[in-house]
Amino acid sequence: MRTLDFDDPFADDGLTSPESFSSLGRPVPRITIQAFCDTPEVAGALDMAASDRRMARAHTKVHTGGISAAIDFYQSAPTPNLIIVESRLVKNELIARLDELAEVCDSGTKVLVIGHSNDVVTYRELLKRGVSEYLIAPVDVMAVIAAIADIYNDDGQSKLGQVFAFVGAKGGVGSSTVAHNVAWSMSRVFGSDVIIADLDLAFGTVGLDFNQDPPQGMADAVFGSDRLDEVLLDRLLTKCEEHLSILAAPAMLDKTYDFEEEAFDHVLDILQSNVPAVVLDIPHIWTSWARKMLLAADDVIVTATPDLANLRNAKNLIDLLKQARPNDAPPKLVLNKVGIPRQPEIKVDDFGAALQTAPTAVIPFDPLLFGTAANNGQMIAEASAKSAINDTFVDIAQIVTGRTEQKHGKKGGLSFAPLLEKLSAMQKSGKKTKPKRAA
């Protein structure tokens, strides 16, 4: 890989060889990567990178056709966590095409550009537009891996994974069922990796719901928390789908589970750094650690059924979360088991009005469908592909992740963190900036 020969302000570390890359040797997390190459040389290098052990957790696809193919492709397909585009275009044309690409990108997608132009103005323009990294062709295989790892491992950056905490307003309302089906929809529809962590160690159902009985899982993660790293996590996870793994609860009563407030902190840290989406299945209890997990999540989804006790509990939960997290999105409300025959219930509108929270989703009571799925260890979509309830789970997945399944017209646009902001934040905090690939 060549280096830019202009006087780059961030080049003070003197990057000259791949060995000096900060992330060399660090694994790339469980992200989805799609590359669109313009030349066989770069495609070859990316293919080699994809088969390297450091990229083993990531799902990488290398396409040809460059930036035009990427723009066409994402008109109708969800964007992955990272798009790599190679382009031989120069400055203005390249920037114009990248702006078109931004139009069809989902929020949260990052972009790495491999260009053929060794030009400081282009470089700065790309960074200003939020491109995460710019490499110059021909690229070195290890340099590409290090660049990707850097994008996701930079200290001071927000963690890779979004955390979605699902909790019931009362026991047995269907919170776990909703959590598992939404997680399944996220992984299927967006093709992006999801881990479900079952925090209900004594009675959790994630293993049953996915028809798995793993010998290891959440208990090993939390009791061996001081040794937990990405390698141990790999061993504790059970893969259920190409993009879905579970950290299952033992669901054994041989011991009690009286955890300290910070018991799950490290497990959550490791999960968040390794996967784009973490779904926490939180039992209906009120302990210091359960409250901490709810407060720590990016989004909280409260499932309730439409009766008075649920209303009171949901109100308490939602009020507490809104008050404790004034700068976060308010918790989402899912009303479940609506329409149980002969059972008096609070009307959906009244329930929402009392909580000042319109339900994100309303799921009907359907004992045959839910009972069949639960007893067979299936998701609702597997038990009945045609059920309209599947669309509801996809809707919840879209709303909480801010992603769309199939885009027609404009998408949310790129929201990747601009490298310049990252660097200036690091400079402000007095940290030494890292060597940049293009510098």
Ligand X SMILES: Nc1ncnc2c1ncn2[C@@H]1O[C@H](COP(=O)(O)OP(=O)(O)OP(=O)(O)O)[C@@H](O)[C@H]1O
Site of interaction with ligand X (CB under 6 A):
168, 171-177, 200, 203, 205, 283-284, 336-337, 363, 365-367, 370-371, 374
Segment interacting with Mg ion, rule: CB under 5 A, options 168-176, 246-254, 326-334, 340-348? 168-176
**124 or 284: whose CB is closer to ligand X?**
284
Which of Mg ion, ligand X, none has residue 214 at its interface (CB below 5 to 8 Å by kind)? none
Segment interacting with Mg ion, rule: CB under 5 A, options 174-182, 245-253, 260-268, 355-363? 174-182
Q: Taking the complex as a whole, how short is the minimal distance between the CB of residue 261 and ligand X, in angstroms?
A: 21
Phi-psi bin for 156: left (phi > 0), alpha (psi -120 to 50), beta? Answer: left
Q: Taking the complex as a whole, how short is the minimal distance between the CB of residue 283 and Mg ion, in angstroms?
A: 6
Contacting residue, 60, 176, 181, 390, with Mg ion by CB under 5 A = 176
Q: Taking the complex as a whole, how short is the minimal distance between the CB of residue 13 and ligand X, in angstroms?
A: 50
Nearest to 67 by CA among 133, 115, 1: 115
| H or E segment to which residue 280 belongs | strand 277-281
Alpha-carbon distance 15 to 329, whole Å?
A: 41
Residues in the chain: 439
Q: Taking the complex as a whole, how short is the minimal distance between the CB of residue 370 and ligand X, in angstroms?
A: 3
With CB under 5 A as the rule, give the number of residues binding Mg ion: 1
**131 or 389: whose CB is closer to ligand X?**
389
Which of Mg ion, ligand X, none has residue 172 at its interface (CB below 5 to 8 Å by kind)? ligand X
- Our finding on whether 336 is near Mg ion (CB under 5 A) is no
**27 or 306: whose CB is closer to ligand X?**
306
Q: How far apart are the first and last CA of the chain?
A: 11
Q: Taking the complex as a whole, how short is the minimal distance between the CB of residue 341 and Mg ion, in angstroms?
A: 24
Q: Taking the complex as a whole, how short is the minimal distance between the CB of residue 335 and ligand X, in angstroms?
A: 10
Sheet holding 32-37, edge to edge: 59-64, 32-37, 82-87, 110-115, 133-136
The 8-class DSSP code of residue 159 comes to: P
Which phi and psi (to 5°) does residue 376 adopt?
-95, 0
Do residues 176 and 282 touch, judged by C-beta distance below 8 A? Answer: no
DSSP bridge pairs for 361: 334
Q: Taking the complex as a whole, how short is the minimal distance between the CB of residue 245 and Mg ion, in angstroms?
A: 19
**9 or 172: whose CB is closer to Mg ion?**
172
**113 or 199: whose CB is closer to Mg ion?**
199
Q: Taking the complex as a whole, how short is the minimal distance between the CB of residue 261 and Mg ion, in angstroms?
A: 21
Q: Which residue is nearest to Mg ion (CB)?
A: 176
Which phi and psi (to 5°) does residue 26 adopt?
-80, 135
**133 or 200: whose CB is closer to ligand X?**
200
Alpha-carbon distance 39 to 374, whole Å?
A: 50
For 224, other C-beta atoms within 10 Å of its C-beta total 14
**162 or 205: whose CB is closer to ligand X?**
205
Q: Long-range contacts for 224-232 (Cβ within 8 Å, ≥24 apart)?
A: 225/263, 225/266, 225/267, 226/266, 228/266, 228/267, 228/270, 229/270, 230/27, 230/29, 230/57, 230/270, 230/273, 230/274
Nearest to 277 by CA among 423, 106, 56, 129: 106
**87 or 176: whose CB is closer to Mg ion?**
176
Which of Mg ion, ligand X, none has residue 366 at its interface (CB below 5 to 8 Å by kind)? ligand X
Do residues 85 and 109 touch, judged by C-beta distance below 8 A? Answer: no
Phi-psi bin for 53: left (phi > 0), alpha (psi -120 to 50), beta? Answer: alpha
Which of Mg ion, ligand X, none has residue 220 at its interface (CB below 5 to 8 Å by kind)? none
Contact residues for Mg ion, defined by CB under 5 A: 176
